[in-house]
Amino acid sequence: MNNFGVIEVASTATKNTPGWAYVPDTGPALSAALQPANRKRVARKQTTLSFSDLSAREETRIRKDLEALDRDSHKDANIAIPPRPGGSRVQNKHTPNVRKILQSQKTFANHLDDYQAMLALAESNPGAAAAMNAAVAKPSTPTTAASKSASPAPTAASAGGSKRSAAAAKRAAAKEKQEQEKEKKKARRTPKAEPEPEAEPQLQQQQSQDDQTDIEMPDAAAPTEPMPTSAPEPNPQPSTYPRESLILPAYAKPPPQTHPGDADPLLVSHVPPFPSDDELRALMTAPPLSYLEARAEWGDEEGRYPVRVFCAVCGYWGRVKCMKCGTRVCALECLEAHREECVSRYGL
Amino acid sequence: MAASRKSRAAGPPAPSTTLVLDNGANTIKAGFVTGDKTDGPRIIPNCLARDRHRKTYVGSELEKCRDFGEIALRRPVEKGFVVSWEAQKEIWDREFFDDKAPQRCDPSETRLVLTEQPNALPALQTHCDQMVFEEFGFASYFRGVGPAFNAYQDIQAIFHTPRTPDTPVDVPAEVILVIDSGYSHTTVTPMVQGRPLHQAIRRLDVGGRLMTNYLTRLLSVRHFDMRNETFIANEMRESVCYVSLDFKGDLEKTWKGTRGERRDDYLSGAGIARDYVLPDSHTTFHGVVRDYEPGVSARARKAAVSTEDILTLRNERFVVPELLFNPSDIGLRQPGLADLVMQSLSVLPIGLWPGLLANIVVVGGNAKLDNFIQRLQMELLERVPDECVVRVARPEDPIISTWVGAANFARHEHVERLAVTKQEYEEHGAGWVTRKFAAGLPVEP
Q: Are B15 and B108 in contact (CB under 8 A)?
A: no
Q: Which of B250, B272, B243, B273 is nearest to B366 (CA)?
A: B243
Q: Indicate yes or no: CB of A69 within 8 angstroms of CB of B214.
A: yes
Closest residue in A to B260 (Cα) is A333
Do residues B138 and B422 lie in contact, with contact meaning Cβ atoms separated by under 8 Å? yes
Q: Name the B residues in 357-396 with CB < 8 Å from any A CB.
A: 358-359, 385, 387, 389, 391
- Compute the nearest-CA separation of B69 from chain A (Å): 13
Round to whole Å and give the CA distance between B150 and A155.
Answer: 31
Q: Which of the pair, B342 or A151, is modelled with greater confidence?
A: B342
Q: Which residues of A touch B209 (CB under 8 A)?
A: 70, 72
| pLDDT confidence of residue A243 | 52
B202, B332, B389 ranked by CB distance to A294: nearest: B202
User: Are A284 and B197 inside 8 Å of each other by CB?
Assistant: yes
A41-55, A78-92, B212-226, B350-364: which has the minimum mean pLDDT?
Answer: A41-55
The architecture in CATH of the region B175-205+334-393 reads: 2-Layer Sandwich (3.30)
The CATH H-level (homologous superfamily) assignment of domain B208-322 is: ATPase, substrate binding domain, subdomain 4 (3.90.640.10)
Q: Are the C-beta atoms of residues A146 and B435 closer than 8 Å to each other? A: yes
Strands (E), B193-285: 195-196, 202-204, 274-277
Domain boundaries, chain B: 2-43+78-153+399-439, 175-205+334-393, 208-322
User: Within 10 Å of residue B119's Cβ, how many Cβ atoms?
Assistant: 23
From the candidates B159, B213, B216, B258, which should be mutated to test the interface with A, based on the most A CB atoms within 10 A?
Answer: B213
Which tens digits make up the pLDDT trace of A265-289? 877 777 778 888 888 888 888 888 9
Percent of chain A scored above 90 by pLDDT?
Answer: 2
Burial (Cβ within 10 Å: 0-12, 13-18, ≥19) of residue B410: buried
Return the pLDDT at B256. 85
Q: How many CA within 13 A on the CB side of residue A182?
A: 16
CB-based contact, A267 to chain B, within 8 Å = no
- Inter-residue contact B436 to B20 (CB < 8 Å): no
Q: Which of B391, B434, B445 sits opposite A247 (nearest CB)?
A: B445
Name the minimum distance, in Å, from the CA of A208 to any CA of chain B. 9
Helices (H), A11-85: 39-47, 56-70
Query: If chain B, 445 residues long, is cut into consecutive pieces of 10 residues, what is the mean pLDDT of each piece?
Result: 43 78 92 85 91 87 85 89 91 88 88 92 92 91 92 87 76 89 93 91 93 92 84 90 92 84 80 86 81 66 64 90 91 90 92 91 93 93 87 92 92 88 90 88 73
Q: Which of A147, A156, A288 sits opposite B127 (nearest CB)?
A: A156
A327: region left, alpha or beta (phi > 0 left; psi from -120 to 50 alpha) = beta
Q: What are phi and psi of A141, to 5 degrees?
A: -110, 90
Task: Quickly name the fold that domain B2-43+78-153+399-439 has.
Answer: Nucleotidyltransferase; domain 5 (3.30.420)
Whole-angstrom CA distances from B441 to A25, A299, B260, B423 are 65, 33, 67, 21
Verify whether the Cβ–Cβ distance B358 to A227 is below 8 Å.
yes
CB pair distance less than 8 Å for A98 and B156: no
Handedness of CA B359, B364, B370, B375 (dihedral sign): negative
In this prediction, residue A155 has a pLDDT band, given cuts at 50, 70 and 90, of: very low
Distance from CA of A158 to the nearest CA of B (A): 10
Nearest one of A180, A347, A207 to A274, comparing CA atoms: A207
Task: State yes or no: pLDDT of A173 exceeds 90.
Answer: no
Backbone angles phi, psi at B29, to 5 degrees: -110, 115
Question: Would you list the DSSP string of B366-416?
Answer: GGGSBTHHHHHHHHHHHHS-TT----EE--SSTTTHHHHHHHHHHHSTHHH
Interface of B with A in 64-103 (CB under 8 A): 72-75, 78-79, 81, 83, 85-87, 89-90, 93-94, 97-100
Which residues on B lie below 8 Å from A231 (Cβ)?
351, 354-355
Flag if B192 and A284 touch (Cβ within 8 Å): yes
Q: Is B263 on the interface with A (CB under 8 A)?
A: no
